[in-house]
Amino acid sequence: MRTWDTFNELVALQRELNRALDTYLPEHTSSRDWPVGFLPGKSARAYPLINISEDKDNFYVEALAPGINTSSLEINVARKTLRISGEKMNLNDIKPEQIHRSERSGGKFIRSVELPVEVDSNGVKAKYSQGILTITLPKAEDAKPKRIAVDVQ
Amino acid sequence: MAEKTIQTQTEKGDLQKLENTRNTEEYITPAVDIYEEEKGLALLADLPGVNKEGLDIQVKDDILTIQAHADYKNVATPFYKEFDIQHFFRQFQLSEKVDASKITAQFINGVLKLSLPKAEETLPRKITIEIG
Residue A28: its chain B contacts at CB < 8 A? Answer: 79-80
Tens-place pLDDT, residues B14-25: 565 555 555 567
Q: Among A101-105, A126-130, B120-124, which stretch is predicted with the lowest mean pLDDT? A: B120-124
If you count DSSP H runs as helices and E runs as strands, how many of each does chain A have, helices first? 1, 8
- The CATH number assigned to the domain with range A46-143 reads 2.60.40.790
Q: How far is CA A77 from CA A8, A129, A136, in A?
A: 33, 21, 11
Q: Give percent of chain A with pLDDT exceeding 70.
A: 82
Q: Which amino acid is at A122?
A: N
Residue A49: its chain B contacts at CB < 8 A? Answer: 82-83
- Best of A32, A51, A88 to disrupt the B interface by mutation (most B CBs within 10 Å)? A51
Q: What is the pLDDT of residue A133?
A: 93
Rg (CA), chain A: 21
Say yes or no: ipTM exceeds 0.90.
Answer: no
> Chain A contact for B53, CB < 8 A?
no
Q: What is the pLDDT of residue B79?
A: 83
Average pLDDT over residues A8-15: 83
> Chain B contact for A65, CB < 8 A?
yes
Is the CB of B82 less than 8 angstroms away from the CB of A46? yes
Tens-place pLDDT, residues A50-96: 999 988 888 999 999 998 888 999 999 988 899 999 998 888 888 88
Delineate the domains of chain B, giving CATH numbers in brackets: 37-72+84-120 (2.60.40.790)
**pLDDT tops 50 at residue A37:** no
- Best of B32, B33, B88, B111 to disrupt the A interface by mutation (most A CBs within 10 Å)? B33
- Helix, strand, coil share (%) of chain B residues, nearest 5: 10, 45, 50
Bridge partners, residue B32, by sequence: B45
Residue A134: its chain B contacts at CB < 8 A? Answer: 75
* DSSP-assigned letter for residue B61: T
Tens-place pLDDT, residues B51-109: 888 899 998 888 899 999 888 887 888 888 888 888 899 999 888 788 888 899 999 98
> Chain B contact for A55, CB < 8 A?
yes
Bridge partners, residue B80, by sequence: A52
**pLDDT tops 50 at residue B1:** no
Q: How far apart are the first and last CA of chain B?
A: 77
- Report the C-alpha dihedral over residues B37, B40, B30, B13, rounded to 10 degrees: 160
Tens-place pLDDT, residues B6-49: 555 545 555 655 555 555 677 888 999 999 988 889 999 999 98
Q: What is the mean pLDDT of chain A?
A: 81
Q: Which amino acid is at B5?
A: T
Q: From B6, B109, B106, B10, select the one nearest B63 (Cα to Cα).
A: B10
Residue A53: its chain B contacts at CB < 8 A? Answer: 74-79
Average pLDDT over residues B112-131: 83
Q: How far is CA A135 from CA A9, A53, A61, A65, in A?
A: 39, 11, 5, 13
Q: What is the pLDDT of residue B95?
A: 80
Please give the distance of CA A81 from its chain centroid, rounded to a whole number: 9
